[in-house]
Structure 1
Amino acid sequence: MRTIVTTLGTDRVRRLRATLTVLLAAAAAGYVPFYFAPFQVFQLTMVLLYAVALSGLNLLVGFGGQISLGHGAFFAAGAYTAAVMLDRHDTGHLATLPVAAAGCFLLGLGFGVPALRLRGLYLALVTLSFAVFLPPLLKRLEPLTGGSMGLTVEKLQPPAWSGLAEDQWTYFVVLVVTTVALLLARNLLRSRVGRALLALRDNESAAEVMGVRLSLHKTLAFAWSAMFAGVAGCLYTWVIGFVSPDSFSFVLSVTLLAGLVVGGLASLYGPLLGAAFVMYVPSVSQDLDEAAPGVVFGLLIIAVMYVAPTGLAGLPGRVRGLVARRLPRPAAAPDRTPETGSPPDARPEPQAGDGPFATPGPADPAVVDAEPVGAPPRTEKE
Structure 2
Amino acid sequence: MSWRPNHTQSVFVLIAAVVAFPFFGGASATTVMALGGLYAIVAIGLNLLVGYAGKISFGHNAFMALGAYASGILTVTYDWSPLAAMLAATAGSGLVAFVIGAPILRVRGHYLAMITLAFAQIVIIVSTRWTEVTGGLTGIPGVPDFSILGFAFDTKQKMYYLIWFVTIVLFLLSFRIVDSRFGRALRALGAHEAAAASLGVDVVRCRIQIFVLSAVYAALAGSLYAHFLNYVNGTFFDLSVMIQLMAILVVGGIGTLWGPLVGAVLLVWVSHSLGSYAEYSQLIFGVLYGGALLFLPRGAVGEIAARLKGTGSRLRSG
* TM-score, length-scaled by structure 2: 0.89
The equivalent position to 1:98 in structure 2, one of 80, 87, 91, is 87
Structure 1 residue aligned with 2:289: 301
The equivalent position to 1:249 in structure 2, one of 231, 238, 247, is 238
Q: Which whole-Å CA distance do the structure 1 matches of 2:147 and 2:132 have between them? A: 30
Q: Cα RMSD (Å) of the superposition?
A: 2.8
The structure, 1 or 2, with the larger RCO (C-alpha pairs under 8 Å, 6+ apart) is 2
Structure 2 residue aligned with 1:354: none
Q: Which has the larger Rg?
A: 1
The equivalent position to 2:247 in structure 1, one of 254, 258, 276, is 258
Q: Indicate if the aligned counterparts of 1:108 and 1:222 stay in contact, CA closer than 8 A.
A: yes
Structure 1 residue aligned with 2:132: 143
Q: Which whole-Å CA distance do the structure 1 matches of 2:58 and 2:132 have between them? A: 28
Secondary structure of the corresponding residue to residue 273 of structure 2: helix
Shift of 1:156: 2.5
Answer yes or no: is 1:43 the counterpart of 2:43. Answer: no
Structure 1 residue aligned with 2:41: 52
Structure 1's unaligned 5+ residue stretches are 1-10, 331-382
Shift of 1:321: 6.7
5 Å matches for 1:342-361? none
Q: Alpha-carbon deviations, 1:306-345, whole Å to 9, x = none?
A: 3311111112134447778999x97xxxxxxxxxxxxxxx
Structure 1 residue aligned with 2:304: 316
Q: Which whole-Å CA distance do the structure 2 matches of 1:131 and 1:231 have between them? A: 17
5 Å matches for 1:160-199? 166-199=155-188
Answer yes or no: is 1:217 the counterpart of 2:206. Answer: yes
Shift of 1:139: 3.0
Answer yes or no: is 1:122 the counterpart of 2:111. Answer: yes
Shift of 1:129: 0.4
Q: Indicate if the aligned counterparts of 1:60 and 1:225 stay in contact, CA closer than 8 A.
A: yes
Q: Which whole-Å CA distance do the structure 2 matches of 1:152 and 1:314 have between them? A: 41
Shift of 1:164: 8.9
* TM-score, length-scaled by structure 1: 0.75
Q: Which whole-Å CA distance do the structure 2 matches of 1:163 and 1:226 have between them? A: 27
Answer yes or no: is 1:65 the counterpart of 2:54. Answer: yes
Shift of 1:91: 2.3
Q: Indicate if the aligned counterparts of 1:48 and 1:174 stay in contact, CA closer than 8 A.
A: yes
Q: Which whole-Å CA distance do the structure 1 matches of 2:50 and 2:73 have between them? A: 30
Query: How many residues are matched?
Result: 315
Alpha carbons of 1:76 and 1:315: their partners in 2 closer, same or farther (altered >3 Å)?
Answer: same
Structure 2's unaligned 5+ residue stretches are none
Q: Alpha-carbon deviations, 1:101-146, whole Å to 9, x = none?
A: 2111111111112333444433311111011111121234322211
Task: Give the aligned residue type for 2:246.
Answer: L
More helix per residue: 2
Q: Which whole-Å CA distance do the structure 2 matches of 1:106 and 1:240 have between them? A: 26
Structure 2 residue aligned with 1:231: 220
The equivalent position to 1:272 in structure 2, one of 241, 250, 261, is 261
Q: Which whole-Å CA distance do the structure 1 matches of 2:256 and 2:56 have between them? A: 16
Q: Which whole-Å CA distance do the structure 2 matches of 1:152 and 1:45 have between them? A: 20
Q: Indicate if the aligned counterparts of 2:258 and 2:301 stay in contact, CA closer than 8 A.
A: yes
Q: Indicate if the aligned counterparts of 1:42 and 1:167 stay in contact, CA closer than 8 A.
A: yes
The equivalent position to 1:153 in structure 2, one of 137, 142, 145, is 142
Q: Indicate if the aligned counterparts of 2:93 and 2:215 stay in contact, CA closer than 8 A.
A: yes
